[in-house]
Amino acid sequence: MKCSETRAIQTHMITYPHLNLHKTLFGGQLMAWLDETAGLSAVRVSRAAIVTASVDHLDFLAPLKVDHAVCIDAFVSGVGTRSMEIFAKVIGEDLFTGERYLAGTCFMTFVVPKGACLPELIEPETKEEQFICQGYEKRKQIRLAKRQESIDLANNIDLAIPWN
């Protein structure tokens, strides 16, 4: 399957309901839009109900200002047997000047239910896709190590609430 066949794109105008105290896009809102867009990309590959497993890496590179647009462009950058990695870039646009800027990048992992089929390979075509996909195996190994760290942490968390 080609990366381009998994691509999902959403554009939103940044307005007052989505702002933080700095009059820029609230990070949590961007994360919700990223999850939605990346999820669409994941379903295009699996054609099954998917679950967000992790936000592996999210870099906020530039603030997204009020009255700018934000475009989220996501595609599958690697597949395993039951999981897939989605890459998303966040592009800001000043609607009055037309200037575009890279506002963020994100890698997320989604899991498919048992029995769902994923393609054996994702085929990058563009220079950007090739660069991003070539790092999949290394990022996957880092993710697996981080997952084990999270399991170890969870096994040592006290669930008692101190004020009760």
Asked, for residue 34, whether it belongs to a domain, the answer is yes
Distance separating alpha carbons of residues 39 and 52, to the nearest angstrom: 8
pTM higher than 0.85? yes
The domain that holds 120 is classified in CATH as 3.10.129.10
**159 assigned to some structural domain:** no
Q: Which pLDDT tens digits describe the chain residue by residue (164 residues)?
A: 999 999 999 999 999 999 999 999 999 999 999 999 999 999 999 999 999 999 988 999 999 999 999 999 999 999 999 999 999 999 999 999 999 999 999 999 999 998 888 998 999 999 999 999 999 999 999 999 999 999 999 999 998 888 76
Does residue 163 sit within a domain? no
* Structural domains in the chain (count): 1
| Tokens describing residue 162 | 């101190």
Distance of CA 105 to the CA centre of its chain: 8
